[in-house]
Chain A
Amino acid sequence: MRYERPTTLKAAAQMLAKEKGKAFILAGGTDLLVRLRTGFIDPDLIIDIKDTSGARAIQKTATGFKIGAAVSGAELGENAALKKAWPGVVEAANLIGSKQVQGRCTMTGNLCNASPAADSVPALVAAAAKAVVVGPKGKRTVPVEEIPVGPGRTSLKKGEIIESLILPKRPPKSGDAYLRFIPRTEMDIAVVGVGVSLTLDGKGVVTKARVALGAVAPTVVLVPAAAKAIIGTKLDKAALDALAAACSAACNPIDDKRGTRDFRIKVAGVLARRAAMIARKRAGGK
């Protein structure tokens, strides 16, 4: 195995495109090193992108936030401006692993690892985040929900690397939240995860919403029907019931040791309701 640490993402993408063997990108390494150590992967080349420009930066731009691919969970949690604008995204990223893991783990890695239970991904999808992808044919920007295509599989082509994630600028009176169910209180993997992002008007009516579910299908899923159930409402009981029903209907989960299919379907609705209430509070609604 070889280890390379290029200083530009273009060079990294070229190395990745040229490699004839198995090549992997290393940022935080909290998934990659585990797979390496347990013999799940046998790389010929590891490309460390932490020294590429912008990889470790959180930039506030005119159109929102640009988060470099190697920014750690701990760094996200320490960025007051980001936390204020996107509290749900930051709380979701900060739920991943322990303090030790937080020191290294990245949202881009969480996305590319393509686990349906990835905590930061439903929050990113609800936030309408986009991924900036660099590859041999230049740059393209894609909605984050188009990156994972199945457990452990992504839509990235050979030679493509995610450079950064873009969180849009928020209109006033907006809020987001992420909730997950785990049997323990810490250090666990979501049995169900729900991200909700919404915007209110002056009267407290939801004008825009996005709802995404994790761990209930082969990929994180955006649920337009759930958003539709609350847009135009003040999140009264009927709207929340409709939201929960739409979320449960969108689930196509597995049965496993962490939760049965029926349990996941039920809990998706319960968490969606609660996450919507938190998002509304954060948006300045009552």
Chain B
Amino acid sequence: MSGITVNTKINGDPVEFICDADETLLDVLRNRLGLTGAKEGCSTGDCGACSVTIDGRLTCSCLVLGAEAEGHNIGTIEGMANGEELHPLQKKFIEHAALQCGICTPGFLIAAKSLLDKNPDPTESEIRFGLAGNLCRCTGYDKIVRAVQDVAKGMRNNKAKRA
């Protein structure tokens, strides 16, 4: 089978890769590009461990073909921290112990960032619905919800200070 050449941007950098027609974006990221932050959980779009953004839109990379990435901007967990400086969500997840085994964490962080980008002041219920596509079998979700609430609060305070 001849491969398909795909030109895309990942975390802002132009990337070219070759993949098979039936290969998912998740497999391309992990197996061809060495970006192993996105995890394979269920492979059927239920667990959210493979969450990425495509042109800023949250999606499961297990439900996208690698070939579909042509001409689009992909955002992965590897692009979340600013160099050595962790994103506020990453810091608060550590502070609140919002993870245990860590498999779901990259997906939760991507989904939580996507939620806060659209809604900087979510209610607890909005956070829980917004993150319903991410499964965690360790934390019981409470610590994750509290970490996201804490980040949202910090973002609002910073905005108020600047104003």
Asked if B54 and A103 sit within 8 Å, CB to CB, the answer is yes
Which partner residue on chain A sits nearest B71 by CB separation? Answer: A51
Asked if B132 and A103 sit within 8 Å, CB to CB, the answer is no
A18 adjacent to chain B (CB < 8 Å): no
A208 adjacent to chain B (CB < 8 Å): no
Q: Please, which residues of chain A bring their CB within 8 A of the CB of B133?
A: 97-101, 187
Which partner residue on chain B sits nearest A45 by CB separation? Answer: B21
B70 adjacent to chain A (CB < 8 Å): yes
B45 adjacent to chain A (CB < 8 Å): yes
Which partner residue on chain A sits nearest B59 by CB separation? Answer: A103
A83 to chain B: closest CB distance in Å? 16
A37 adjacent to chain B (CB < 8 Å): yes
Known contacts: A3-B21, A101-B133. The answer to whether A29 contacts B44 by CB under 8 A is: no
Known contacts: A97-B133, A100-B58. The answer to whether A46 contacts B70 by CB under 8 A is: no
Known contacts: A3-B21, A187-B132. The answer to whether A34 contacts B57 by CB under 8 A is: no
Which partner residue on chain A sits nearest B2 by CB separation? Answer: A2
B28 adjacent to chain A (CB < 8 Å): no
B136 adjacent to chain A (CB < 8 Å): no
Taken residue by residue from 56 to 86, chain B's Cβ proximity to chain A (1 for < 8 Å, 0 otherwise) reads as: 0111101111011010000000000000000
Asked if A3 and B63 sit within 8 Å, CB to CB, the answer is no
Asked if B21 and A33 sit within 8 Å, CB to CB, the answer is no
Q: Please, which residues of chain A bring their CB within 8 A of the CB of B131?
A: 99
Q: Please, which residues of chain B bring their CB within 8 A of the CB of A33?
A: 24, 45, 62-65
A191 adjacent to chain B (CB < 8 Å): no
Q: Please, which residues of chain B bring their CB within 8 A of the CB of A103?
A: 54, 57-59
Asked if A104 and B21 sit within 8 Å, CB to CB, the answer is no
A100 to B114: give the CA distance in the assembly, Å: 10
Asked if A101 and B44 sit within 8 Å, CB to CB, the answer is no
A104 to B70: give the CA distance in the assembly, Å: 16
Q: Please, which residues of chain B bring their CB within 8 A of the CB of A48?
A: 65, 67-68
Asked if A34 and B129 sit within 8 Å, CB to CB, the answer is no
B130 adjacent to chain A (CB < 8 Å): yes
B90 adjacent to chain A (CB < 8 Å): no
Q: Please, which residues of chain A bring their CB within 8 A of the CB of B13?
A: none
B4 adjacent to chain A (CB < 8 Å): yes
A1 adjacent to chain B (CB < 8 Å): yes
B8 adjacent to chain A (CB < 8 Å): no
Q: Please, which residues of chain A bring their CB within 8 A of the CB of B51?
A: 100
Asked if B45 and A30 sit within 8 Å, CB to CB, the answer is yes
B36 adjacent to chain A (CB < 8 Å): no
Which partner residue on chain A sits nearest B114 by CB separation? Answer: A99
Asked if B59 and A46 sit within 8 Å, CB to CB, the answer is no
A74 to B114: give the CA distance in the assembly, Å: 13
A81 adjacent to chain B (CB < 8 Å): no
Which partner residue on chain A sits nearest B64 by CB separation? Answer: A29
Asked if B63 and A104 sit within 8 Å, CB to CB, the answer is yes
B142 adjacent to chain A (CB < 8 Å): no
| 25 pairs, CB–CB < 8 Å, chain A vs chain B | A1-B22, A3-B67, A29-B68, A33-B24, A34-B44, A37-B43, A38-B44, A43-B22, A46-B65, A48-B65, A72-B57, A98-B48, A99-B111, A99-B114, A99-B115, A99-B133, A100-B51, A100-B58, A100-B60, A100-B63, A101-B45, A101-B60, A101-B63, A103-B54, A103-B58
The 9 closest A-B pairs by CB, nearest first: A98-B133, A3-B21, A103-B59, A186-B132, A103-B57, A33-B63, A100-B133, A100-B60, A1-B22
Q: Footprint of B on A, CB under 8 Å?
A: 1-3, 5, 26, 29-30, 33-34, 36-38, 43, 46, 48, 50, 72, 74, 97-101, 103-104, 186-187
Q: Footprint of A on B, CB under 8 Å?
A: 1, 4, 20-22, 24, 43-46, 48, 51, 54, 57-60, 62-65, 67-68, 70, 111, 114-115, 129-134
Besides the known contacts A30-B63, A33-B45, 5 further A-B residue pairs in the complex with CB atoms under 8 A apart: A2-B21, A29-B68, A98-B48, A100-B51, A104-B64
